[in-house]
């Protein structure tokens, strides 16, 4: 799977996903550190990436636009955890949500729960 990691998460998360065999880039690695959220979403969509973020604004942007892509993984209540823990939780649950991410979804991941909303979402 191909991932784009938002600025509000560590670049180490991208490295952890690469070590696990996925394509992953952090916004800082592709010179998009200051890109506004709509630009980040468009980049993820056009490049076929799943965006990973802790920013709930992405879900709202997708709902408003009624877009079917890109898929987004929102990390909730994991932001205080070490990056290795965040990566482990994402990787442990990836097979469960892979089909949803492939067709377009917002997947919200917490400490011990997952919520999936297929795209497009109602505005």
Domain boundaries, the chain: 2-118
Q: Where are the alpha helices (DSSP H) in the chain?
A: 11-19, 37-47, 57-65, 83-103
pLDDT at 81: 79
> What is the mean predicted confidence (pLDDT) over 23-51?
97
Q: How confident is the model at residue 77, as a pLDDT?
A: 76
More confident residue, 88 or 111: 88
Give how far Cα 89 sits from Cα of 32, 67, 86, 99, 119, Å: 26, 27, 5, 17, 23
| Cβ–Cβ < 8 Å for 50, 28 | no
Confidence of residue 78 (pLDDT cuts 50, 70, 90): low
**Rounded percentage of the chain residues whose pLDDT exceeds 70:** 97
Mean per-residue pLDDT for 9-17?
97
- The CA-based angle 123-112-103, given to 5 degrees, is 40
Mean pLDDT along residues 13-20: 98
CA distances from 24 to 48, 60, 63, 64 (A): 11, 24, 25, 27
Confidence bin at 7 (pLDDT 50/70/90): very high
Mean pLDDT of 95-108: 97
């Amino acid at each position: 799977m191909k991932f784009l990691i938002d600025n509000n998460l560590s670049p180490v998360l991208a490295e952890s996903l690469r070590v696990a065999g996925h394509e992953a880039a952090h916004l800082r690695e592709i010179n998009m550190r200051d890109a506004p959220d709509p630009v980040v979403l468009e980049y993820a969509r056009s490049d076929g990436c799943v965006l990973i973020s802790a920013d709930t604004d992405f879900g709202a942007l997708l709902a408003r636009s009624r877009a079917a892509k890109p898929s987004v993984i929102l990390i909730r209540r994991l932001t205080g955890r070490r990056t290795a823990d965040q990566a482990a939780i994402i990787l442990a649950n990836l097979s469960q949500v892979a089909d949803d991410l492939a067709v377009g979804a917002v997947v919200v991941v917490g400490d011990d729960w997952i919520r999936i909303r297929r795209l497009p979402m109602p505005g």
